Structure 1
Amino acid sequence: MCAPGRGPDSARAGDKEGWETRVTAARARGSERTLGAGDLGGPLGERATLVQFSSAFCQPCRVTRRVLADVAAMVPGVAHVEIDAEGALDLVRELRVLKTPTVLVLDRAGRVVRRAVGQPRKADVIAALGAAV
């Protein structure tokens, strides 16, 4: 994983261990924020949106991009939006994104219902979508 603006940290590229245990309900973390197309730079999905915060030199971010794009293509009404963490520092700070990749799962209204840090497996993303659809 990588810290926004800091480059790769000590985690190995491809480290998936514990992704599913890091998936947390957003309300438990105090995030009641609703995100819209203006925040994301792209439209929300009809059913849910997968928001990925990435950084330029983050290898796990590249793998995460492919996984989320695959899931969005498989599940009707789900969109994938990738945000460059270094280019959106105000949003990163507001949402307390500390490492990349960080994935937020939004429901159709743009409410954050799940968040996770690290490189996900496709099955974990699909399971996390269950809270949004």
Structure 2
Amino acid sequence: MRGQDAGGRLSAAELGRGLGERATLVQFSTAFCAPCRATRRVLGEVTRMVPGVAHVEIDAEDRLELVRALGVLKTPTVLVLDADGRIVRRATGQPRTADVIAALGEAV
């Protein structure tokens, strides 16, 4: 997962659902974004493979305040959160499964 360290923290309330036991993959998407659909499949596959990891998809158009607060400029943007909701990685574009699993190594 190409990206940058992000810092900051997100709560279950901000996400609209609970955090994963070990980590959470937060995906910002838009309705007509083809790479977003592929990213959803990749992140879903990873959450099935890695116990304790949750995937939360957020419609960027519905959550503009959060998008602006986090500086999300394009979709898909994926944030990797640790168990406490700290943002440990951030990447844009469609990730590869191996890259997501490697990024999770920083969170767990």
Please, what TM-score do these two structures have when normalized by structure 1?
A: 0.79
- 2:55 corresponds, among 63, 80, 83, to 80
Q: Percent identity?
A: 72
Q: How does 1:62-101 map to 2 (within 5 A)?
A: 62-101=37-76
Runs of 4+ in 1 over 2 A off after TM superposition: none
**Structure 1 residue matching 2:107: 3-state secondary structure:** coil
Letter in 2 for 1:110: G
- 2:4 corresponds, among 24, 27, 33, to 24
Deviation at 1:23, TM superposition (A): 1.8
Deviation at 1:97, TM superposition (A): 0.2
Deviation at 1:35, TM superposition (A): 0.7
**Structure 2 residue matching 1:34: 3-state secondary structure:** coil
Structure 2 unaligned segments of length 5 or more: list them: none
Deviation at 1:130, TM superposition (A): 0.7
Matched residues in 1 for 2:39 and 2:5: separation? 20
Match of 1:48 in 2: 23
Letter in 2 for 1:112: I
Deviation at 1:36, TM superposition (A): 1.1
Deviation at 1:65, TM superposition (A): 0.2
Structure having the higher Rg: 1
- CA RMSD for the aligned pairs? 0.8
Please, what TM-score do these two structures have when normalized by structure 2?
A: 0.97
Structure 1 unaligned segments of length 5 or more: list them: 1-19
Q: CA offsets, 1:28-80, max 9 Å, x none?
A: xxx3x211111111110000000000000000000000000110111000000
Letter in 2 for 1:109: D
**Structure 1 residue matching 2:75: 3-state secondary structure:** coil
